[in-house]
Amino acid sequence: MQKKMKTMAATFLGLVLVGSISTSRPIIRDAKAQSADAPTSSVCTNATVQGSYGFQRNGTTSKGALTAVGLGEFDGQGNASGQQEISRSGVFSFLPAIAGTYTINPDCTGTLFDPTGNPFAYLVVTHNGSEILGMSLTAGNNVAIHYERINDLPGNSAAGHEHGK
């Protein structure tokens, strides 16, 4: 009888866990669903992202492990440029400045585009534009990107999270 009760309890727990996992909201959804749920206090635009940023990229590509650090510039109007030092599986190289564009949505998500207009990275703007989190959209890549503004704009530092000071 005890064995049967333990089996029933384990089955019930398993069903509860599966039910809670299958009904969880996805983290990243389509833009229409995101904007409908976006908090009204966090409205972003291209102007939210402006200034000089230090960034790092880490992950794997079709050429192996990738680590990079660099400097990026966002003009607040949708234009971006950057340069970086890269290590691919321990082989170092410098990539000179490259220009592209970006779009930031009202829900603080966005896209970084390469010079040919192809989407390069998915972005999430945090801390009033002081930080940007991202991931590569290049097929075969598993690369995370983290930008931090080098000097915050006046009056634009998040409480307890002040950069450049």
What's the average model confidence in pLDDT over 37-65? 87
pLDDT band at residue 11 under the 50/70/90 scheme: very low
Catalogue all structural domains in the chain, each as residue range(s) with its CATH number.
46-149 (2.40.128)
pLDDT band at residue 7 under the 50/70/90 scheme: very low
Nearest to 71 by CA among 48, 49, 95: 95
Residue 82 CA, chain-centre distance (Å), reads 17
Residue pLDDT, tens place only, 28-47? 444 444 444 444 457 999 99
Q: Which amino acid is at 8?
A: M
Nearest to 99 by CA among 85, 114, 118, 87: 114
Question: If you ran DSSP here, which 8-state letter would residue 162 be given?
Answer: -
Residue pLDDT, tens place only, 92-134? 999 889 999 999 999 999 999 999 999 999 999 999 999 999 9
Residue 37 CA, chain-centre distance (Å), reads 18
